[in-house]
């Protein structure tokens, strides 16, 4: 690549990480960007997530300040509570400087997509190979373009770029170039998840709002025996919940970690909820029409995020468990950092070196802290009597501990 000129960038993956990178790299003023996404279109998938101030500030820097406000709610407080089905509770930890915002994944994805110039994202494009010849400054990307016409054969495309950004998720084939033969780590548990509106479940929603008075401003972690739940509100009166259940690794199909739950499984989950959580939380889980299951994985932190002109971002770089709400935050922060490095460095090579130096230690720590928090809350290493736990143990539940965490 000739330095100080415009670089051609291909981003593999048009989820939140890939689209955030497209914004950041276009914003650097030094890149032409094409995003190749396997899916034929965006679907209203996903559920809730929380963003911290660093990720929010990056999104605002993309010129999306008003949009971010309109799709999210303030989430200033984190509360961890010991709970049991009799309704007895003990607040273990409360942090009023948590300072996040809550939003729905598909609103974030839609916002990022709408903010990009038309034609930046090409759907139905599956990247099948990425090659860089030794010593070359170019990466050759091969992709299949799939047509919606019945019986049509996919068209083969070949493109050269100066920089390949791998935002192709936790099963990234690009990552396999940096670490072949690596497998993901099953956490030991799955998460039941649901989003339910007040109008879908008026009685359950009213009961939950009475019991959880800070709902709308707090994220609640409900620590029960050997398991935990999460509850917070999303814009448009949607209540978002998760329940982590220790179990064997489920059989998954294709690329997704989502398991569609059958009616029998849902009924069993509803019964167990009543034996686990306080009654109002159990009532909400029982009233959710279509809960689904996510198997929870992460991977060991990498030693490198860059190989030649290929750079990993988001889930491809550091798949993580969700306990500190870091996945989407890290993906957006990767994007912001990469854009900044491209803008301020005199060469792409220098930019990638700086990106790796800045993001690798931080994201490795976040992955390991999230794993630690999940293991504590799921009592995977030792069980804790949370109703009698000491203050040090209780304070250890706070997400703010991430900054001082030593793996």
Ligand X SMILES: Cc1cc2nc3c(=O)[nH]c(=O)nc-3n(C[C@H](O)[C@H](O)[C@H](O)COP(=O)(O)OP(=O)(O)OC[C@H]3O[C@@H](n4cnc5c(N)ncnc54)[C@H](O)[C@@H]3O)c2cc1C
Question: By the criterion CB under 6 A, which residues form the site for ligand X?
Answer: 12-18, 36-39, 45-47, 49, 105, 126-127, 167-170, 173, 314-316, 327-328, 331
> Please, what is the minimum distance in Å from the beta carbon of residue 227 to ligand X?
20
DSSP string, 310-374: EEE-HHHH----GGGS-HHHHHHHHHHHHHHHHHHSSSHHHHHHHHHHHHHHHHHHHHHHHHHHH
Other CB atoms closer than 10 Å to residue 152's CB: what's the count? 10
> Please, what is the minimum distance in Å from the beta carbon of residue 318 to ligand X?
9
> Please, what is the minimum distance in Å from the beta carbon of residue 335 to ligand X?
9
Task: Tell me the C-alpha distance between 89 and 70, whole Å.
Answer: 34
Task: Tell me the C-alpha distance between 138 and 257, whole Å.
Answer: 33
Instruction: Tell me the residue number closest to ligand X, measured at CB.
Output: 314
Residue 257 is given by DSSP the state -
Between 121 and 287, CB nearer to ligand X: 121
3 state DSSP class of 46? coil
Between 17 and 301, CB nearer to ligand X: 17
> Please, what is the minimum distance in Å from the beta carbon of residue 65 to ligand X?
20
143 in Cβ contact with 126 (< 8 Å): yes
Between 329 and 378, CB nearer to ligand X: 329
Task: Tell me the C-alpha distance between 100 and 366, whole Å.
Answer: 16
174 in Cβ contact with 358 (< 8 Å): no
Between 227 and 328, CB nearer to ligand X: 328
> Please, what is the minimum distance in Å from the beta carbon of residue 265 to ligand X?
20
Between 1 and 177, CB nearer to ligand X: 177
Between 308 and 319, CB nearer to ligand X: 319
> Please, what is the minimum distance in Å from the beta carbon of residue 203 to ligand X?
26
> Please, what is the minimum distance in Å from the beta carbon of residue 309 to ligand X?
18
C-alpha angle 271/383/170, rounded to 5°? Answer: 75
What values do phi and psi take at 337, rounded to 5?
Answer: -65, -45
> Please, what is the minimum distance in Å from the beta carbon of residue 401 to ligand X?
20
Between 90 and 184, CB nearer to ligand X: 184
What values do phi and psi take at 274, rounded to 5?
Answer: -65, -25
108 in Cβ contact with 56 (< 8 Å): no
Q: At which residue do the structure tokens 């929010």 appear?
A: 56
> Please, what is the minimum distance in Å from the beta carbon of residue 36 to ligand X?
5
Between 37 and 356, CB nearer to ligand X: 37
Between 38 and 238, CB nearer to ligand X: 38
Task: Tell me the C-alpha distance between 190 and 96, whole Å.
Answer: 29
3 state DSSP class of 33? strand
Report in angstroms the alpha-carbon separations of 333 from 50, 63, 134, 359. Answer: 14, 16, 30, 9
């Amino acid at each position: 690549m000739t330095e100080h000129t415009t670089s051609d960038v291909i981003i593999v993956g048009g989820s939140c990480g890939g689209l955030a990178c497209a914004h950041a790299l276009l914003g650097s003023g030094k890149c032409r960007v094409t995003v190749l996404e396997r899916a034929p279109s965006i679907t209203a998938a996903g559920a809730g997530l929380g963003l911290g101030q660093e990720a929010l500030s990056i999104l605002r820097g993309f010129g999306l300040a008003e949009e971010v406000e309109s799709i999210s709610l303030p989430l200033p407080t984190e509360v961890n509570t010991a709970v049991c089905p009799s309704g007895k509770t003990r607040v273990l930890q409360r942090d009023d400087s948590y300072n996040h915002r809550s939003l729905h994944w598909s609103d974030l994805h839609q916002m990022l997509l709408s903010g990009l110039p038309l034609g930046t994202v090409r759907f139905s494009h599956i990247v099948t190979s990425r090659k860089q010849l030794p010593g070359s400054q170019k990466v050759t990307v091969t992709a299949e373009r799939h047509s919606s016409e019945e019986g049509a054969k996919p068209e083969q495309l070949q493109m050269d770029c100066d920089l390949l950004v791998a935002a192709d998720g936790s099963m990234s084939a690009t990552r396999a170039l940096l670490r072949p033969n690596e497998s993901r780590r099953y956490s030991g548990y799955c998460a039941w998840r649901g989003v339910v509106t007040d109008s879908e479940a008026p009685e359950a929603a009213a009961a939950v709002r009475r019991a959880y008075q800070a709902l709308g401003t707090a994220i609640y972690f409900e620590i029960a025996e050997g398991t935990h739940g999460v509850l917070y509100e999303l814009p448009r009166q949607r209540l978002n919940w998760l329940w982590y259940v220790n179990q064997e690794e489920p059989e998954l199909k294709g690329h997704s970690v989502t398991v569609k739950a059958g009616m029998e499984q849902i009924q069993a989950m509803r019964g167990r909820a009543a034996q686990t959580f306080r009654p109002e939380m159990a009532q909400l889980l029982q009233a959710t029409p279509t809960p689904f299951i996510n198997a929870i994985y992460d991977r060991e932190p990498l030693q490198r995020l860059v190989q030649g002109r290929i750079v990993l971002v988001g889930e491809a770089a550091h798949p993580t468990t969700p306990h500190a709400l870091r996945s989407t935050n890290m993906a957006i922060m990767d994007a912001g950092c990469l854009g900044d490095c491209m803008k301020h460095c005199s060469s792409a090579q220098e930019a990638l070196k700086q990106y790796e130096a800045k993001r690798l230690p931080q994201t490795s720590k976040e992955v390991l802290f999230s794993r630690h928090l999940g293991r504590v809350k799921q009592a995977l290493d030792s069980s804790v009597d949370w109703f009698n736990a000491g203050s040090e143990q209780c304070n250890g539940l706070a997400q703010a501990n991430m900054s001082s965490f030593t793996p």
